Amino acid sequence: MANGANGASNQTIKHHARVQSGEGHLDIYGYSLTLPRTILFYIFSFCTLGIFRLIIHWKEEWYIKVRATKCNLDQANILFIVDENRTTTHRLVKDVTRGSDGNPLILPNGLGSYREVSHIRYFTFRKMLYAWFEKEAKFIPPSDFDSSVPVKTLIDRIDDKHGITTAQVLQRRLTYGRNLIEVQLKPIVVLLFKEAISPFYIFQLFSVCLWYWDEYIYYASIIVIISVGSITLDVYQTRKQEKKLRSMVHSSGEITVLRDKGECTIVDSSELVPGDVIVIPEHGFVMQCDAILLTGTVIVNESMLTGESVPVTKVNASGLDDDNKTGNVKLDFDRHAKHVLFCGTQVLQTRNYGRGLVRAIVIRTAFSTTKGQLVRSIMYPKPIDFEFNRDLLKFVGFLSIMASFGFAYTLGMMFHYGAAWKKLVIRSLDIITCVVPPALPAAMSVGIINANGRLRKKDIYCISPSTINTCGAVNVVCFDKTGTLTEDGLDFYAARPVFPRSGTRDCSFGLDTGEMRPEDFPKGAELIKASAVCQSLTRIEGELHGDPLDLILFNKTNWTLDEGLDGEIKEEKGEGSSSSSAAEDSQQEIQSDQDQMSLVKPPEKHREYFGGDEFPVLRQFTFSSALQRMSVISGSTKKEESEEEKIVLYVKGSPEIVHSLCDPKTVPVDFQRIVNSYTQRGYRLIAVARRDLDLTRSEAMKIPRQEIEYDLEMLGLIIMENRVKPVTKIVIQHLNSARIRTVMVTGDNLLTAMSVAAECSIIRPDRKAYLLEHIADLKDEKGRTFLIVKEATRIDHDKFIPHKDISTDEIEKLLTPDYQFCVAGSTFAIVAKEYPELLDDLMTVCDVFARMAPEQKQMLVNHLQTLDYTVAMCGDGANDCAALKAAHAGISLSDAEASIAAPFTSKVADIRCVPNVIREGRAALVTSFGVFKYMANYSIAQFSTVMLVYFHLNAVPDLQFLYIDLFLATFIAMFFGNTGPAEYLSRDPPPTKLLSLSSMVSVVGQMLIFGLTQMYIYSWTATQPWFFMNIIQEGYGKADLLSHQGTTTFCVSLFQYIILAFLYSKGAPYRKSILSNPWLCFAILITTSVSTMVILSPPKLIIDLLEFDPIPYFSVRLYIMFTALACCAVAYLFNTFVVEYLIIVKLEKWRKLQKLRNPKSTIPKWERIMLRIATNTSWISEEANIENRSLDQKTKSWRKKSHFRGDR
């Protein structure tokens, strides 16, 4: 191994390897720098005055090919890296031999320990260090090895009472680096240089040098000012973002660690290394690393990472391997989040038995932590793979081709007239500078800047403004349910107790009751007791905090909660032992999932119903999304020493899970019917059960949960009401009417989710709705799980509402399904694993996803993107971080001004922000299209003017260029983005292709109209009796600037630029009327007035400044004015009738329809799927094992059908 004397690699070392990097991957290619190539590289760079070096700076692949040759990764000294977004870069491989202290280097071996190596080969990429591991034959972040070790092994390798030694700390620091999440501010000089060497500014530098050489001093100076201002503004914005991010993420402090035989040492958090055992303070501490909790309980606020401000209880990892007796459970930061203290979270409270230290082991530091990965995702955002940006480059390429023709034409003309070489070169190159207008970058950003400002006024904050344009293309929005579509909190609706068997009478449900009165419940009122005991609440500064559901339910019982029973518990646990330190150590070894010892007390007047004054909560198994339940072990207070303590297990969770854990004899026969009756009305149900445990208190503290969570006694149901927010239905209907697909993604029960989805119109009343479920223990001959399709609603075909536009109706009919599917997370996982051929189809027609884990939400968003959807995700941030980050547009509902969980954060906690973001996105996108077409046509019109003037070896005067470029183009373009979005979302989405037929016809059509008009006035001027032809002269002089033809062509062109502003500022259907933009109206009015004066009655000052060859007669000037206005009228009619009506309304919709009918056409993947399955469900019966069941709406009972037919 390159790292030391290790055995031979188990894998063949190759030129290429793929490495996981956070949520993505890197493709790494090995190269070796060679001396001859390096020498030639520097010679070429020097001889070309740096141009060669600049070109290969823009193209990373060329840099590698010029300087290096291919080799295997173990021999590489430079790497070519391609990330999952196809972004390329290169990194040098570095080599470190030993630390300055002489200690040997170490690397993790994947077994929870380390091996010494003679040296380490590594590179850094986006703040992460990647070391070479020969056994794996690839570069891997060392922290990945620590995360892949079984948790039991990881903990066993650490002496959690003594920690690691100082020598080990120094060794690990060389491998992992310092524990710092720093956003380093790049030097201003570096930012300026990187901005200045972009292709656009290099082109501007070329243009300015040419203009100064041509003595176009005014124009060149203005462009320099604009360019310097633009660069300065970009650098200022970059620095501002860096400072803002640094202030958001910067955090450091002192922390107590156990090192060198258990000594408590206070160190700076930057000194932490993986393997350090840290002591968690009681409160007011911000975690500076990711750590596994070893002892005690910690209550944290994770709002910095998730946006959810509800306190979260973290429990120690002693029971992590309960579900795996082999002890080989590997740490999963999502599945085992309740055991992990994440970097950036705030410690609110800690607790431990015997008042011992709350300890945790550092597992990840710096940028490998969860917070570090989030910061990296902001520092290195996913490039927006948006067709508009690609088309933009293509169109610039088209303009460049035009410029090359102009260059050749001018060169030929100048040569034909025998112009001096200097004039020949300058005029030929000058034509190229007309193609790319200098104000293009600034003009292209006005829509985004203004949209961002309007969003801020609506309390919607964006940390990634470039995402705004993408929002204009959104065609599917995924919503979390609780806290997003529905109110944040739940309201207690009723409790429905189960009355146990009595004689010959089976157990049965009682009536639901809206009050928790013991006299209304069976003897012992166990359902009330369970509701009070089975919770994860805690007191922080005297106030109860915890899960909102627990809080509401506990308050409803009127019980009280006291904490701080360490002394009493310890005395009970330590029976038969002295209070020696050995007994204390033994006591501290008895750990639990939560170590929270608290007392719950019933109201004094009701204590006789519950058989006790107070009940200690001995142990908690906190709620798990995977298990869909939580449980507690409760004790009792003994009235006499000889009395045996009664230990009881209480469980609450989803009805289906708790039902499966209960003794069937304790479950009413109509349990499922009662559950369905509530869930179909949108209520959220919690089933509650109990079991007496024949255990001592000490035994109860150690036993794994799977050994006690069975044969439970069903106590009843708690019915919670989760009200839909008032604005939800209005917003969903608004999105539906705009043909934007709405999808619910929730962790709640499937039937509850369907009820809420139907209430807010995600499930449409005019479509069939099917539930896709599975039979877990029934397999086919291929070993696949059987799927079940259940019809949930019926469709009334008479309720279809016809649309006015026939062609639109045909397209909509082809792309709108007659049905919708609903699926739970467990079935979704089975389809993804066992029926991958069904997944694309299901994702296209399934609009309700229930019981979805956070990673499944992310998978859903990612898969929708593979179907060519542009996806927005809206959630409250609690379990949606991964999905919010994965979406094209993530919108987090949070009261924080900015969150690193999503590009958008709305301080108004409802979904009205979604149409606002989409409307602003559409307005910004259409504005960008309009600005670009405006700048393109302005550039082409100016190009046409220059070409005509050059025909007789004249030139456009400097100040005429200034008038056009600054007073007309830039002044008008500044206010393009001030037009706000339309009040309502249009049914037709905005174009996302810049090179669409309508855009190209518009640009080319206006180019022809303007060009022909200029040619006409140019030719007409030459026929007039007052026309005077300047004598062509060699070199420079006033004669080759003054020209009647140049003056008339310039005057006509003025109104061409103005009409372009009017045409491309059109309002409906994506923006408000141009009249709502007073600044743009003012700019058009001012430029029109001044231009009219310049044509009809120019003062002597204007004539001198613009270097006119004066037009002698007013009638002639009036005719020129008439020609200009006629050109504007033709341009308006062409854009309105040909482009907007014939092309957009008729032809493009007809072409779209033809594409949909042609199976070989290029259309989005989801459209192709929809064409196949929109009107029938045979796709699922053909591919899967279907047992169809239908829900009878009258009897609410299930009946089996003989076969499955989804066709209408």
* Per-residue DSSP letter, 289: S
How far is residue 937 from each of residues 439, 771, 1120, 1175, measured CA to CA in Å? 13, 54, 21, 45
802 CB-contact burial (10 Å; exposed 0-12 / middle 13-18 / buried 19+): exposed
Amino acid at 846: C
How far is residue 329 from each of residues 313, 320, 547, measured CA to CA in Å? 21, 8, 27
Taking the C-alpha atoms of residue 336 and residue 317, their distance in angstroms, rounded to an integer, is 9
Beta bridge partners of 874: 479, 891
Q: Please, what is the angle between helix 188-196 and helix 217-249, to 10°? A: 130
Beta bridge partners of 1074: none
Transcribe 25-41 into DSSP letters: EEEEEEEEE-HHHHHHH
Amino acid at 1189: R
Beta bridge partners of 1186: 787
> On the CB side of 394, how many CA atoms lie within 13 Å of its CA?
10
N- to C-terminal Cα distance for the chain? 66
* Per-residue DSSP letter, 879: S
Phi, psi of 694 (to 5 degrees): -90, 70
Beta bridge partners of 258: 264, 277
**Do residues 416 and 407 make contact, with C-beta atoms less than 8 angstroms apart?**
no
- Kindly state the tokens that stand for 461: 């904050």
**Do residues 354 and 661 make contact, with C-beta atoms less than 8 angstroms apart?**
no
Those residues whose C-beta lies under 8 Å from the C-beta of residue 301, and which sit 6 or more positions away, are 309, 311, 312, 345, 346, 348
**Do residues 993 and 390 make contact, with C-beta atoms less than 8 angstroms apart?**
no
Nearest to 880 by CA among 859, 909, 910: 859
Nearest to 1022 by CA among 951, 947, 1091: 951
**Do residues 937 and 1008 make contact, with C-beta atoms less than 8 angstroms apart?**
no
- Rounded to the nearest 5 percent, the helix, strand and coil shares of the chain are 45, 20, 35
- Range list of H helices, 526-654: 526-533, 548-557, 566-573, 581-589, 607-610
Those residues whose C-beta lies under 8 Å from the C-beta of residue 911, and which sit 6 or more positions away, are 479, 484, 485, 725, 727, 728, 731, 732, 874, 893
Annotation says 160 is catalytic: no
Taking the C-alpha atoms of residue 579 and residue 571, their distance in angstroms, rounded to an integer, is 9
3-state secondary structure string across 673-689: HHHHHHHCCCEEEEEEE
**For the chain, what's the residue count?**
1208
Set 480, 547, 876, 910: catalytic member: 480
Those residues whose C-beta lies under 8 Å from the C-beta of residue 1130, and which sit 6 or more positions away, are 1009
**Do residues 493 and 678 make contact, with C-beta atoms less than 8 angstroms apart?**
no
Taking the C-alpha atoms of residue 770 and residue 825, their distance in angstroms, rounded to an integer, is 15
Task: Report, as residue numbers or ranges, the catalytic residues.
Answer: 480
